[in-house]
Structure 1
Amino acid sequence: MKLQPDRFDVQAITGQGPGWVQVGPERIEHSVIIGSRGERIAWNCASYDELGAGHFDELARLQPEVVIFGSGDRIRFPRPAWLRELVSRGIGLETMDTAAACRTYNILAQEGRQVVVALLLEQPR
């Protein structure tokens, strides 16, 4: 699916499909953290089963207002124990499927919010 805004002043997700996202001309085929302040960090997890508290602690260290977790092709919520650091810092978290997370990130980033999206990009079998 192509996501094409009129104009973006921030880093935007311009396309998304099974196992990939696109930021500008770059196609990314691994789990990734993308932030409205220009962050683009490989997120070291290839599947939901590999996730743990350390993955979400990494997001908290970026100090966004809100984190959007794109959990793949379906909604899978993080375990409460994984979120302690986000909660202790007062950082909000929203969970949605990856396509919805991409669209929501673009909207919040364009509004000037300090937002980070963590996208779990599982490769199709």
Structure 2
Amino acid sequence: MRIDRERPAPGPLVRGFGPGGYRVDAPDGTMGVYPALLLTATRADTWSPPALEALDEAALAPLLAGPIEFLLLGTGDTLRRAPKALVAALDARGMGIEAMDSRAAARAWGVLRAEERQIAAALYPLDF
């Protein structure tokens, strides 16, 4: 699937996704493909995610350093709940978490970044 927006958001944008992963345009104009992905307003990084049940702050450390309203959590090919301990830990930091399937999270990323929302995203592989 290809994702296009009329008004590009600042920072890395997910331009599409498929069996190989997420196609991301970086702010420097390069494009990369990532099987699993961590996104901030300024960077996209490949990610080796733990099992969803084991997801914790340490696995998301690169995302938690900046001012973030909430985390988009793409849970793979279907919606799964975020671990309760992670939700509580992020809440203690004043951060929310929104879990959805990874395709929906990839689409939501562009919409929310176009609004210049201060968010981060952790996207599990599409076949997870």
Report TM bin, short chain.
0.7 to 0.9
Q: Indicate which of 70, 73, 81 corresponds to 1:69.
A: 73
Q: Indicate which of 40, 43, 51 corresponds to 1:39.
A: 43
Task: Please provide the CA RMSD for this pair.
Answer: 2.1
Q: How does 1:82-101 map to 2 (within 5 A)?
A: 82-101=86-105
Which aligned runs of 4 or more in structure 1 are off by greater than 6 angstroms? none
| 2: CA distance, partners of 1:16 / 1:43 | 16
With the length of structure 2 as denominator, give the TM-score of the two structures: 0.81
Q: Report the identity percentage.
A: 26
Residue in 1 that maps onto 2:118: 114
1:13-54 residue CA offsets vs partner (Å, 9 max, x unmatched): 10012450011232112x211112x122332316535x3323
Change (3 A) 1:46 1:79: closer
1:73-120 residue CA offsets vs partner (Å, 9 max, x unmatched): 000111111233311111111000011001111101000111111100
Amino acid in structure 1 at the alignment position of 2:55: G
SS of 1:76's equivalent in the other structure is coil
Q: Per-residue deviation at 1:4?
A: 0.9
Q: Per-residue deviation at 1:123?
A: 4.8
With the length of structure 1 as denominator, give the TM-score of the two structures: 0.82
Amino acid in structure 1 at the alignment position of 2:5: P
Which segments of 5 or more consecutive residues in structure 2 lack a partner in the other structure? 26-30
Please say if residues 57 and 85 of structure 1, whose CA atoms lie closer than 8 Å, have aligned partners that are also in contact: no
Amino acid in structure 1 at the alignment position of 2:86: W
1:55-90 residue CA offsets vs partner (Å, 9 max, x unmatched): 245543343111100000000111111233311111
Change (3 A) 1:97 1:74: same
Amino acid in structure 2 at the alignment position of 1:90: G
SS of 2:110's equivalent in the other structure is helix
